[in-house]
Structure formats: structure tokens, C-alpha cells
Structure 1
Amino acid sequence: MSLTRFFLLFATCYFLAGPEAQASPAMSFANRASPAAAVGDTAQVVRLLKLAELSVTSKPDSALHYANEALTLARRRHRPRQEAEALEYIGWVSYVRGDYPGSLRLYQQALSVAQAAGYAKECARLHTYIGMVLQAEGAYPEALANNLAALKYYTAVRDTANLAFSIMNVAAVEYHAHHYAQAIAYYQQAIQQLKKNNDLEDLNASYLGLASVYTDMGNLGQAETYFRLGLDFFRRQKDRTNEAIVLNNLGEVSTKQKNYAQAHRFLTQALQLAQANQDASVTAASSAALAQVFFLQGQHDQAQTYARRSLALAQRIKARPVAKDACLVLANSLAAQRRFEPALAFYKQGKVLEDSIYGLEHTAQLEALRSQYQEYRREQQESAQRYRIQQLERDQRISRLTLTLVLGVGLSLLVFAWLGWRQYQATRQRNRAQKQAEQAAERVEQLQNESRLQQAEYELGFKDRKLATLALAAMQKGEFLHEVKERLDVIAQTADEEVRRQLGRLRLSIEQNGSSNKDWDQFRVIFEEVHPNFFAELQRQFPEVTPNELRLAALLRLNFSSKAMAGLLGISEESVKKARYRLRQKLQLSTADNLVEFMMRLDAASLSGTAAIKNQE
């Protein structure tokens, strides 16, 4: 019998749906309609999806109603992420009710929407759901292919939470295909990851998956312990769907222990819950399990009644593993009554179903998929090694770039000094010529004014260039320190505890001493020469502005990018965005006001005030 195999199909989907639904991905989708209507519709879709999430395991009819309303609204407003999520909920309800073809069609529609919109994470989750339906239909190679696609994505992006779920699904397929060693290895891998994540709920699901394997392997005592723990958990959560599945599993364990009274009690409870939930797949499985119990007790009429019900329902929902079990129970029961002709017919039908599930072609496909995944893992490891080599080469390039920058700055200073000396000599010659040309005083005065203007423009240009040079040096320093901190983080991941503490202290020291006040003081002196009274005017109008916000305002006046400001200030780009937001609040600017244009207008006002004062003098 394969009754325990139904647990992981539901439990995995249940736990996978929870975290993703709570994340409310639709909230981050950009509005395409008119602002007022779009915001209202978006909030309505999110509310409907949340209601569907809350009722999907306890009230499938309500969940279906909410999801259909959300789907209509999401399509009307062109919300692909919310459309895919609504299709997921509808597909789940169809799956629970045993409509496997309908569920598979809905999940594939959701996958098409997510792929067209480029939502990689949603695609990975939908591959998991499609694999779940294919498992129920007994299409194990196709199920494994979808689950491995999800596993590759979560491994690539290092999504440790969903990675554990994906590993559990791969383990489930291996279990269904009777590859118990591989199933146990994957379950243990998932358990290790879930322990690191401190995820007790999903850890429970992995233990129950292991219990299913132990049941088939004959380790019934350990399997029963895990199943009873799972039953208590689902009853506390009021999850009737998974409660029915675990009761079904306990019924199979009791049957193998030859405790038929207890098996009958568990399976009857599972059947009643499944029928109340309109859960066709568990209803079919429970009926087949009860048929097996009646057969073992010699009650052949009742065994055949339940087996025929199970077979009819399993054929309707295309659940080949359950249909196979029901055929074999019917064959054994009819043979016990010496009704050999119908018994042989059911036996042949069961063997045909069994061959379609576990045939040589499917076994070869599963082996090919395993080989492909192992090759993928090797490529990932080789890629990681190449990345480490590239990092070392990049560190060397940074060292050479730093040396080149120092030499360039030194050469620039020499050039500027020579130009200054030449300017000084030219000024002396002009003064001497001015004293000797008293008869041309008016002309000389005009020339002097022109010379002063040129000198002011030159000095302003010089200061602008010096300001840019200082900013570039500070930015390169910030980027270099950021690279160093990232390298320290990478080394800390593979180092022992003592080395990690030392690296942590070194990283903290870099963060505390990376930004030099001397650099800022030099930068501020030159900035105020180019933009006089900018800081004074900003503090006069907004006294609450902090020194750090003055630095940010200066960089905004120079129209630096967020990345450049992050390097200059020694902080992350995300911190720059937060600092801009706080500064905007203090300046009482709306979201429609441009912060850079405001700083330019402020600078222009300060320059106008300075010019007016000089004219008065």
C-alpha cells in the first residue's frame, strides 16, 4: 500500500504556501492604471488573497470564492504577480478536491504568467506545485524534473528557507519511486537546513516524511511516534486536511502492526474528515486502506465495497497509485472467494497501473534526472572556485589601481603648483608694466579688471577640479574599504570561531575609522570656497540639520549618484536612501520636489546674498 505517500503532497504545499502568501508580493507591483483607482484595486486584491490564504485549509469553498474575485480584479488591472498567486490558490483547492488535471492546468497557467513577467521566485514555487500534482498522478520523472528546477533556483540564490522545502519535495518523489536511501538522504539534508533556520513547523513536516519512509521499510515503532506527534500538531493548528492524511498514515502503520481495530478507527476518522473537506484524494486513499483492513480480517464483501469506491474515485481524479492499490485489494479479495476470473482481471489492471508508474522507462528517466542534477552540483562547485580566483585577481587589480591613483594625484599636485608659480610670475609682470605705463592708466585698469575676472574663473575651475579630485579619492577609498569588508565576510564564513571574532573586530575598526574627519574638513574648505554661504544659508533656514546631513547636502549640490555618495560617506546605498528621506522630511519637501534642484536653488540664493552684500560694501 502507498497510503503514507499522500502526506508529503499536502504538507509540503501547506508549508510552502504559508511564507510566500504572507510576504504579499503583490504589494510591490508598480501601478499601471490611474493612481486613485489602482491603489484601491491593489488593496482590494491583496485583501482578497489574504482571505483566501486564511481559509484555504479550513474553508476551501470560501478560499475559492476569494481567489476567483482576486483573479478577476488582478487581470482587469494587469497585476501579473497577483494573478499568478490567485491561480495558485484556485489550483490548490482543485487539487484538494481531486481535480488533478484542473489543478495542473491552473498551476501551468500561473507559471506562464510568472515566466512572462520574469518572476523567477514565483516560477520556482510553481514548479514545486506542479511537481506535487504530478506526484499524485504517479508521473514521477516529470515531478522530479519540476522539483529539481525549483531546487536549482533556491540553491543559486541561497534562499535557505525555501531551499529546505524544495529538498523535501525531491525527497518525496524519491520516496514515491521506492528509492528509500535517496529519500532518507534528502530528508536528513532538509532537517539539517531547517534546524539552522530554527523552523520548528517545517521540521515537523520533514520528520513526518521520514516516518513515511520508515513505514515502508518496516520501522513501524519510530514511524508511529512521528505520526502521532504530527497528528497533535495539526489538531492544534486546526488543519483538517493534514489531520486526515496523518490519520490515514497511522491507519496503515496499525494495519502493518496487525492491530486491525486501531487501524479501522484511524482510517474511519480519516475518511470522515476527508469527506467533510471534500478531499477526493484522501477519500480514495482512506477507502482503499479500509478495504485492505476488511480483507485481512476476512470480511470480503465490505473489502470489495470500499475497494470499488476507492477505484471509481481514483480513476475519476486520475490518481494512479491509489487506483493500483484498490485493484490489488479487489483481486486478492475476489481470489479469496474463489472468484478467479474477475480477480485476474483486477490483478492485470493493477499490474498495468503499476508498470505505468514504476516501469523501466520511468526508472531510466529518474536516473537521468539525478545524473543531470549531480552534474549541476559539480558545475556550481566549480563556479564557486572560479569566483574565488576572480576575487583574488580583483584584489590585485585594486592594489595596482590604488598605486596608480596615488601617483596620479601627486603628479596633478606638481602640475598645479607649476601653474600657480607661472600665474604668480605673470601677475608680477603685469603689476610692473602697470606702474611703468602711467599714461595708459585707464587702459591698464581695464586690463586689470579682465585679468581679475580670468583669474577668478581659473581659480574657481581649479577649486572645482580639486573638489572633484578629493571626492574621487574619497569615493575610491570608500569602495576599497567596502570591498575589504565584503572579503572579510566571505573569509569569516569558512573560518573558525576565533578567526571570525578577530575578523569581526577588524571589520568594526574599518567601519569606525574608514571615514576620515580630516578628509571631510579639507573637502568642506574647498566646497565653501566654491559655494560660499551654502552651509550658513542651509543652517539659517533649517537649524535642525545635523553635521552628517550637511555633508549629504553638499554631495547633493554636486549632483553625485547614490553609489558615489555611499563611497564618500562610508555607508551603504540603502543608508544613503534613508538619509535622503530624513533630510527631505527636515526640509519639509514633498515627494514631487527634487532634492538636488532644491540644493541648487539654495546655493543660488546664498550666492545672490553674498553678491548683494559685496555691492553694498
Structure 2
Amino acid sequence: MIEQGLFRITISIVCTLSLYLFSAGQTFEKLPLDPNGIDEDLILGYVHNAAEDSLSLITSSFLSYAQNEDPSRLAEAYYYRAMYTSFIFDYPETIVLTQMGLNQKETSVDLLDRIHKLSSTAHLFSGNLDSANYHLDVILEHEDSVDPEFLAEVYYARYQIQFTEGQDEKALENLYKSLELFEASGDYSFAATIRSYIGVIYHRMDRDSLAMVYQQEALDYFIENDELDNASYVYLERGNMLIDLGRYTNAIEDLQTGIDISQEIGHIGNVANGLNILGRALARNGDIKGGIEKNRQALALCRDYQIPIGIASCEVDLATLFLDIQEADSSLKYSIELYEISRREGFPDYEEDATDLLARTYAMKNDFDQAYKFRTKHLAIKDSIYSQETAEKMAELREVYEREKNLREVESLKNQAKIERLKRNGLLGGMGLLLLLSGIIVNRELQRRKKSRLLLEAELELKEARNEKLRQKIEFKNRELSSNALNMARKNEFLQTIDEKLKSISIEGEAAKSIHELKNDLRIEGQMENNWDQFMSQFKETDPSFYQKLNESYPDLSKGELRLSALIRMNLGNKEIARMLNISDEGVKKARYRLRKKLDLLQEDSLEAKLLSL
């Protein structure tokens, strides 16, 4: 079930590679004659082997069979045919076919959900983001009954749309949902790929420390499990991030590692892309000649394997580098080639780059007539592209479309020679490259958020430290207050004991006078205000708001009643209070009675509860 789900994502995105559904060496070139043998696994097998002709034949034949002999399977037939048209990147036809499938009656909810998801992908790559969202909404309306593994794919599809729209927070939320479901199902490989995508989002949000953590987690899993194809994509992703951060030495190291792995496993498209990015990194690090050499190597590979979008990308970089070092003839050569291929292949954004480079290069050569001609063309193309509100999204989708189409063609050549080495997770790498390429377009626009995020984290840590320090201080004050209260009670008890003993001594004359003076001194000591002032000061530090509230509510309380209130709030008993105040137990009861009256308490009201509530 997990493998089927991953293949469905393949259909939705890049229609790349997998081996888990079929054993090594099994072929799908022979068209099954029995209609009952035609199912989604079979269709995905053709996709896996990039058998375009056989895929076209079997899906069209099955659709004809359903139309003429078994209308109950029409929805299924339209779905399989739409899988084929999606495979060849004919998204308008995919939209038509999926709609016809949805129009069929008595179709299972599971099949309808899969048709909706495929339709959403077709709308996404056609630039119809509202329609893409609508088809996913239909599935999510009953998400509680959707198979968890398929639901993970739906969350991922939602993320793709939000990524395209630049809604990073929402995209991140859906990635986390998808991650949780894939991990719960035990698909740790796809979960690792999701972690890589999370890293890309965090990089776009300028939370680069988190981005690097998630990239490293994905990389660790792929290396540990010998999934080198996926590891190479992560190295290239991270290398591109490091370029954005100005860490060119680290970027060069990661990019070279990704290129080496791709060469080892025969992933030519990835090698070409890596060399192109590496050339950019070398140039920004000051090695212009090294950058030019790597870009030329990338261009040669793209030409050998007929990857038009790769050719255009390399020629932009080469023309720009030669223009920067004022080698006008070389810049003109690559600019003209770029102009020709962009017009031939229908790449309006690259045609815009080409006309700009040609105008600047001809101006450097003092050919101002040609410079004016191409500057006029450049402005016309720029106006035609950017006058539309969705121009940026269209450019991004076009780049995704063309790059992935050519990558699929490269992978098809590679499959025939190394099918034993390829596994299901090759498709994940394709998606990683998709995100890498699309992320390049917009990730430089969001740099302003990083400082505020780091500042917020620092403030939260400082606040937590201050709260902990305050808590420790309050605990210490409470212990100190309780200790002082106990000492005062013991001292008063001791003074009372001495006073009682002195009263029992019967002496006359001068000695009697001295004893009388000593007894007076003891009573004075027992009532010393300094002791109470120190105690009350400590109490106010521990419980600063209590006296403020008590005085505001009952301003006519005496100093003695305030002391009694504090001792009751400390949960001391009558005997302890008597020793503290140096009075009898009966005196405490009378003092409590007077305090209750001043607080307007009824007979059934609790004095302790009243004071503790303040």
C-alpha cells in the first residue's frame, strides 16, 4: 500500500522511478489481453519503466474496452488514461480525462479520491491553483475515513500548492502532517525526504539553523541506508542553501560530494545540475575560471542528453560570467545560443535573460544599433511576462515542468542499463530536485525574518532564566521568613519562662528591686519593635501584594491586627501566634475576634480563607 502511494505521487509530480512494486528484470512491454489483469499496479509498472508507447497503447485500449463492453469500469479507464497523459506532461488533457472520470456514476470513494488528487496535480502544473486546492478539499472533507498512507500523500500535495503560492507557514504545517503519517506507517525513507523538504521551507523562512538540522537528518538516513541517489539530491539542496548564506567553501564541498555520488550511480541529470550550481559557487568565491569550466562541463552533458532547460540555464550563467570579465565575444556567443533555444523551446523568461544579455554585450562592443534592438525586445518581453498578476507563479511552474520532463528522459536511458540499482526512492530524489530548483527562485526574498526570530528566541530564554531566578528567590525568602518566625516564637517563649521563674523567687531589699528591673527588661525585649519591623519587611518581600490589598480594602486595621493577619496567612496556629506576639492563647482568640469584626465576616465565614484569598 505504501509503495502504491509513492507511485501515485510519482504520477502527480515527475513520474520517475521505483522498484518495490515489481521484481528486478520484470518487463511490461507485452500488452495484457485480459482486461481483468489491468489495474493500477500494472499502469505504474509501465510508468516505472518509462515505456511510453506501451503505456499509451494499454490505456487507450482499456478505455475503448470500457466504453464498448464494460461501462462500469469507465471511471477506472479514464483514470488510467489520465495517468498516461500526466506521464507525458499533457496536463490539459489530464484535466479533461479526470473530469470525465469524476462524472461517472457509482464510483467508489477510494477511486474518486485518487482521481481528485491526480486532477489537483494537473491543475497545479497548469497554473490553476484554485482548482488544484478544490480537488484536495473534496478529499479532506472526509479525511477521517481516508487511508492514512494516502492521506499523507494528500497533505504533501497540499504542501506543493502552498509552496508554489509562497505560503511557507501553511506549507510547513502540511509537511509536518505528512511526516507524522509516513513515520506512523513505517515509511522512514519517504519521511526522510519530507524532512529534506522541511529544511527547504525553513531556509526560505530564513531559519537556517533549523533548515540545516533537517537537511542533516535526511542525509544521515539516506547514507546509513545506502540510498545514494536521494543523498545526492540533499547534498545539492544544501549546497545551494550554503551559497545563499555566503558559505561558499562549504557549498563547494557539498556540491562536489553530490556530483561524485551522482556520477557513481549514473545519474547524469543530477551531475549536470550539480556542475551548473558548482560553477556558480566557484564564481562567487572568486574563482571565475573554475566557475566557467564547471558550467561548460554541465552544458556539454545537457547537450549530450538533450536537456533544453539545462542548456538554457548553463548558457545564462556562462554569458553572464563572460560579460562580468568583459570578454564580449564569448558572452555574445552564449547569449545568441540562449536566445535561439529559448525561442525554439518556448522559454519566455530565458528569452528575457537572453535579450538583456545581448543588449548589454552589443553595448560593450559599441554596436549600439543592435544593443537598442535587443533592449527594445527585452522590455517588450518583460512587460508581457510581468504585466500578469500570476507571472511569477507561471515562471516557476514552467521551470518545474521542463526540468522534470527532461530528468525523466535521462532516467529512462539510465534505467535500461542499471535497473537493478534503482529503487523506489529514486522518485524522492526527483522531488527533492524539484524543490531545490523551485526554491532557488524565491528563497532570496525572505532574508529579513531571521534576526527577529533569533531575537525572539533569545528573549524567551532570558525570560525563562529570570523566572527561574525569581522562583528561587521566593523560595529562599519563604524559608528565611519561616525560620525567623520560629526564632521569634522560641525567643518569646524563653523570655516568658524566665519571667515565670523570676516571679516565683521571693526576695526583698535591693535584690528584689534588681529582679523587678530585670522583669521589666524582659517584657520590653519581648515587645521590641525592631524584631517585628525586620519580620514584616521580610514578609512584604515574600508576599508584596497582600498588604497592599489588605490596606486598600480595610484601611482602619491597626499595626497589631496587620501582624496577626500576616501570621494567620502564614498558616500558623494559635499557640505559635501567641508565642510570636508574646500574649496568651486567650489573647490570640480575642485578637482574632476583633479582626473578624473589622473584616465584616459572618459567623460561618473562615478568617483563614478570607486572608488567603487576598
TM over 0.5: no
Q: TM-score, normalised by structure 1?
A: 0.41
- The structure carrying a bigger helix percent of its residues is 1
